[in-house]
Amino acid sequence: MKIIDVLTEYGKRSLDRTFSYVYRGDKRIEPRFRVRISFGAQEAVMGFVLAVRDTKKTIKELEEENGYAFKEIHDYDIIDEEPLVDDQMMELANKVSQYYLAPFIGVLQAMLPLSLSPKTSALRGPKIAYEQWVELVKNDENDLTDKQIEMLRLIASNTPILKKECGSIAILKKLLEKGRVKIILKEKERFHIRPEEREEPHEMSLEQRKAFDDIRNSDKGVVLLEGVTGSGKTEVYLRLSEKVLEEGKSVLMLVPEINLTPAMVEYFSRRFGPKVAILHSELTPAERYDEYRRIARGDASIVVGARSAVFAPLKNIGLIILDEEHVESYKQDNSPYYHAREVAIMRGEIEGCKVLLGSATPTLESKARADKGVYEYASMPHRINEKALPHTEIIDLRDRKVFSKNSEKLSAPLIAKIKEKLDKGEQALLLINRRGYWTGIECPKCGHIFTCPNCGGNLTFHQEDSMLKCHHCGFVEKYPEHCPSCGNTRLRRVGYGTERVVKELQDLFPEARVARMDSDIGKVSKNVEKILHEFKDGKYDILVGTQMIAKGHDFPNVTLSAVVLADIGLSLPTYRASERTFQLIAQAVGRSGRSKRVGEAMIQTYNPDHYAIKNGASQDYGAFYLREMQQRRITEYPPYWNCILLEFSSSKEEKAVESSMDFKKEILGLGIENLNVLGPITPFYSMNNGKHKRVLLLKFKKRESIDSYLRQLLQRFSSLAGVDISVNVDPLDY
């Protein structure tokens, strides 16, 4: 008989330990197998085996010795025939769990694709041959809820649409029952990378060659490559990968956004053909399963993917690359809250390979580590072939004279410059990092502001489907006919986003072809690649978008990039506000003039003297870095101090407040040196699914000084009834 030590699929901190079962059969069962277990009142819970021990004792003897009943695992409960992960991936999972103070099972679930994940839903994983599409039957909104109307409008404007892109299954079920839509099956085409015409390596410039040599010759495990936009970092990635493959090793290439992945796949497949695999969360479960198994078998030696691809089952890795390492989407926004950069560095240590971080605007943390000599540093300060950086003009919106009578959003100089580019047959790219049409609705009579009942955020009006939406939690409602507080029918509409800018451009330039790119468009995955390709092919004259359009794209005919309102990010309550603003402006400016024509850029702002805006416009990373580091030192934020964010949530507000205050009192009472605790703070989004939130921000010099105390307190406070605690190590916001 064997004793099987099993983790349950439940990721609660109070259950982050093994539970022992017995097995009396003859089937192979080993650590890293999944098993079905009976746990509490649940009869079919997924478990993950951590240890297997032989015993000669009977079940009765074991129960008497341990003081609790032993449940049994049967032959039919053993799911796998081979371990799911190898020694190195288990070591990585343990490192991630320890660093991010996350339950071990939660890390394993994040690492593995759905079909192989240690969770019950994995048993319904893909062995599918068909895709389900939803087709409009009747565009009738009578007797529908607001959520149902939102989905119906999405389907109506994109029919047919993949079932998984509709959103809530429960809402879709209601639309099916009411006969508004129907499901159609299409034969599933498993994922394949489109064969690209093979491309020979480009001749490297002197700067590219020097960066290549510096990276190859470095004896440090991590290298930061700082290269201005258009300096040719991708060619350096390709040449380094070529060398690694010649050595018989593999390459992991990470990109920050799913919509940037196809372009990088194209670059790599042109150079390396069928050796390339792709992994990201927008693949269907079947596609992800296929690619994962192909990588695990060794059929691919290069993996290109977004954040979760850092866990790809590649063997013998020789190089890990993070392109655009500054982008915040590398940070997971739910438990286990890992950052792909830090996980990549952990994996590089385990694999004994080099990690390359590339960016035109590195995070302050990475640049500071390079300055200290922790990372190697390589730079490419000039564009390929010495192309000039765009000439940039900052437009002061405080001066009302810059506006013409034709527009309240676009200044006269910007309108004139767009017209000039259109007349020359060139393209323009306009960035406003806010989606929707109006960004706030309020009543001028009584002051009522339309906010989200779930999280407290402001509701944004979307013209496309005439709905008010919360951009944080997804709540929607129809545009109101009157104020719910006083009945006033004349509501004030404030602010503007991508939809409003598109409308303004269409009114100003009726002959221009204008496209929009934001996460509303991106809900339907086929739209993103289609619009990007069509814009690159010249089928649109102007592209308006959020930060999605500012990163990594190469549009040869774009000679004007403009930031419509550069101040949006500066007002956010976060210590990273200036850094984000600088990065976004610098990246947006860098999209212009990347081919033969000289580029221009225009920045509209109410804060023309702010250093983030001035340095972003001139792409002067060095000046920004020095100024921002001074601010961080004074305010005791990273990279000088470390942070951990604790979020306490409860259906009863007083419980969230009380538990957070008690936690603060206890941890401060320990007398830990160099520990500051901010809060309890009511966060910007104060609720989540009807639960009230309070946060504590722990600021400290050294992690080891608080680690053991923090673990003990978390274990104790996590058992409090009616209070959930989430732990976010190295948070990007608070």
- Model confidence at 186: pLDDT above 80: no
Q: What is the mean pLDDT of residues 530-547?
A: 90
CATH number of the domain to which 697 belongs: 3.30.70.600
Q: Tell me: the pLDDT tens digits for 690-709?
A: 889 999 999 999 999 999 99
Residue 10 covered by a domain: yes
Handedness of CA 268, 269, 275, 278 (dihedral sign): positive
Q: What is the mean pLDDT of residues 419-435?
A: 93
Percentage of the chain beyond pLDDT 90 is 57
> Domain span at residue 151?
130-187
- Model confidence at 626: pLDDT above 80: yes
Beta-strand relationship, 460-462 and 440-442: unpaired
> What is the H or E stretch that residue 339 is in?
none
Which comes out higher in pLDDT, residue 203 or 596? 203
For residue 454, the 8-state DSSP code is T
- Model confidence at 194: pLDDT above 80: no
For residue 400, the model assigns a pLDDT of 87
Query: Tokens 């670059």 appear where?
Result: 267
For residue 126, the model assigns a pLDDT of 54
For residue 261, the model assigns a pLDDT of 66
135 lies in the same domain as 105: no
- Model confidence at 448: pLDDT above 60: yes
Residue 198 covered by a domain: no
Residue 665 covered by a domain: yes
Lowest mean pLDDT among 51-60, 61-70, 273-282, 401-410: 273-282
Query: Tokens 């033969």 appear where?
Result: 596
Phi, psi of 427 (to 5 degrees): -110, 155
Question: Whole-number mean pLDDT of the chain?
Answer: 89
For residue 190, the model assigns a pLDDT of 47
- Model confidence at 464: pLDDT above 90: no
Q: How far apart are CA 332 and CA 111, in angstroms?
A: 12
Q: Tell me: the pLDDT tens digits for 313-339?
A: 999 999 999 999 999 999 998 899 999
Q: What is the mean pLDDT of residues 204-216?
A: 95
- Model confidence at 713: pLDDT above 70: yes
- Model confidence at 433: pLDDT above 90: no
Q: How far apart are CA 628 and CA 612, in angstroms?
A: 9
> Which of 592, 607, 632 marks a domain boundary?
632
For residue 192, the model assigns a pLDDT of 53
Q: How confident is the model at residue 128 (pLDDT cuts 50, 70, 90)?
A: very low
355 lies in the same domain as 406: no
For residue 259, the model assigns a pLDDT of 66
For residue 434, the model assigns a pLDDT of 86
402 lies in the same domain as 364: no
> Which of 587, 602, 632 marks a domain boundary?
632
Which comes out higher in pLDDT, residue 284 or 500? 500
332 lies in the same domain as 393: no
Q: Tell me: the pLDDT tens digits for 91-111?
A: 999 999 999 999 999 999 999
Strand partners, 467: 462, 478
Residue 249 covered by a domain: yes
Residue 544 covered by a domain: yes
511 lies in the same domain as 618: yes
509 lies in the same domain as 653: no
Lowest mean pLDDT among 114-123, 229-238, 376-385, 509-518: 114-123
339 lies in the same domain as 416: no
The helix/strand/coil state of 34 is strand
> What is the H or E stretch that residue 45 is in?
strand 42-54
Lowest mean pLDDT among 175-189, 538-552, 575-589, 660-674: 175-189
CA nearest to 313, candidates 325, 301, 323: 301
560 lies in the same domain as 597: yes
Asked if residue 713 lies in contact with residue 669, where contact means CB atoms within 8 angstroms, the answer is no
Q: What is the mean pLDDT of residues 101-125?
A: 87
For residue 522, the model assigns a pLDDT of 67
Beta-strand relationship, 460-462 and 467-469: antiparallel
521 lies in the same domain as 531: yes
CATH number of the domain to which 34 belongs: 3.40.1440.60
> Which of 85, 108, 123 marks a domain boundary?
123
Residue 201 covered by a domain: no
Q: How far apart are CA 552 and CA 443, in angstroms?
A: 41
For residue 129, the model assigns a pLDDT of 47
80 lies in the same domain as 145: no
34 lies in the same domain as 97: yes
Q: What is the mean pLDDT of residues 231-240?
A: 94
> What is the per-residue DSSP string for 403-422?
--TT-SSS-HHHHHHHHHHH
Asked if residue 468 lies in contact with residue 459, where contact means CB atoms within 8 angstroms, the answer is yes
Q: How far apart are CA 120 and CA 43, in angstroms?
A: 11
- Model confidence at 226: pLDDT above 80: yes
Q: Tell me: the pLDDT tens digits for 246-283?
A: 999 999 999 988 766 667 888 888 888 888 888 876 67
- Model confidence at 287: pLDDT above 80: no
Q: In the structure encoding, which two tokens stand for residue 531, read together?
A: 């619009």
How many domains are there within the chain? 6
244 lies in the same domain as 313: yes
Q: In the structure encoding, which two tokens stand for residue 378, read together?
A: 């390589």
Residue 341 covered by a domain: yes
- Model confidence at 356: pLDDT above 80: yes
Residue type, 606: Y
For residue 130, the model assigns a pLDDT of 61
CATH number of the domain to which 540 belongs: 3.40.50.300
Residue 194 covered by a domain: no
Percentage of the chain beyond pLDDT 70 is 96
